Amino acid sequence: MSLSMPSAPNGGLFKQGYQNYESEDGAVIRNIEACRAIAQTVQTSLGPYGRNKIVINHLQKMILTSDAASILRELDVVHPAAKLIVMASQQQEAEMGDATNLVIVLCGEMLKKAEELLRMGLKTSDVVQGFERAQKEALRCLDQLVVDSVKDLRSHPELAKAIRTVIASKQSGSEEFLADMVAEAVLAVLPKQPVNFNVDNIRVVKIMGGSLEQSKVVKGMVFGREPDGSIKKAKNAKVGVFSCPIDTSQTETKGTVLLHNAKEMMDFTKGEESQLETIIKELHDSGLRVVVAGSTVGELALHYLNRFGILVVKVLSKFELRRLCRVVGATPLARLGAPMPDEMGKVDVVETLEIGGDRVTVFRQENDATRTATLVIRGATQNHLDDIERAIDDGVNVVKAITRDPKLVPGAGATEMQLIERISAFGERTPELSQYAIKKYAEAFEVIPRTLAESAGLDATEVLATLYAAHHKASSNKKDQDDDDEDEDEDDEPDWTMGVDVENEDGSGTLDAKEEGILDLLVSKQWAIRLATEAARTVLSVDQIIVARQAGGPKPPGGQNPDWDED
Residues 6+ apart with CB under 8 A from 10: 18, 20
Please state whether 349 falls in left (phi above 0), alpha (psi between -120 and 50) or beta. beta
Looking at residue 3, the DSSP 8-state letter turns out to be P
User: How high is the pLDDT of residue 493?
Assistant: 43
Q: Are 169 and 50 in contact, with CB atoms under 8 Å apart? A: yes
Specify whether the CB–CB gap between 238 and 354 falls below 8 A.
no
Closest-CA residue to 65 (of 532, 332, 489, 385): 385
CB contact at 8 A, 179 and 395: yes
In this structure, what are the phi and psi dihedrals at residue 56, rounded to the nearest 5 degrees?
-110, 110
Assign residue 159 a region (left: φ > 0; alpha: ψ between -120 and 50; beta: otherwise). alpha
Provide the pLDDT for residue 19. Answer: 66
What is the β-pairing status of strands 148-149 and 407-410? antiparallel
Most distant CA pair in the chain, distance: 112
- Which residues fall within 8 angstroms of residue 292, CB to CB, at 6 or more apart? 239, 240, 241, 242, 312, 313, 314, 315, 321, 324, 330
Predicted local confidence at residue 477, as pLDDT? 65
The span from the CA of 352 to the CA of 360, in Å, is 6
CA distance 75 to 264: 64
pLDDT at 159: 82
Contact partners, residue 255, CB within 8 Å, separation at least 6: none
Nearest to 191 by CA among 365, 324, 330: 365
> 125 with 543: CB under 8 angstroms?
no
Give how far Cα 521 sits from Cα of 41, 402, 438, Å. 25, 8, 25
- pLDDT on residue 435: 82
Block mean pLDDT (10 aa), the chain, length 567: 48 63 67 84 82 82 80 80 84 80 87 84 83 86 81 79 81 81 83 77 82 80 78 81 74 68 71 75 80 79 80 81 80 79 81 77 70 82 83 84 82 83 83 82 86 82 83 68 48 62 71 78 86 86 72 56 42
Phi, psi of 566 (to 5 degrees): -85, 140
Q: What is the pLDDT of residue 34?
A: 83
Alpha-carbon distance of 260 to 269, in angstroms, equals 14
Distance CA 431, CA 428 (A): 8
SS3 91: helix
Phi, psi of 271 (to 5 degrees): -65, -45
Nearest C-alpha neighbor of 222 from the set 345, 346, 343, 377: 377
Q: Tell me: the pLDDT tens digits for 414-471?
A: 888 888 888 888 888 877 778 888 888 888 888 888 888 888 888 888 888 888 888 7
| Residues ≥6 apart with Cβ < 8 Å to 327 | 221, 345, 347, 363, 365, 370, 372
- Tens of pLDDT, residue by residue over 184-217, are 888 888 877 777 777 777 888 888 877 888 888 8
- DSSP track, 422-471: HHHHHHHH--STHHHHHHHHHHHTTHHHHHHHHHTT--HHHHHHHHHHHH
Three-state SS for 38?
helix
Instruction: Count other C-beta atoms under 10 Å from residue 380's C-beta.
Output: 12
**What pTM value is reported for the model?**
0.77
Q: Please write down the HEC assignment for all residues of 161-173.
A: HHHHHHHHCCCCC
Asked if 407 and 525 touch (Cβ cutoff 8 Å), the reply is no
Distance CA 291, CA 117 (A): 67
Question: How many residues would you count in the chain?
Answer: 567
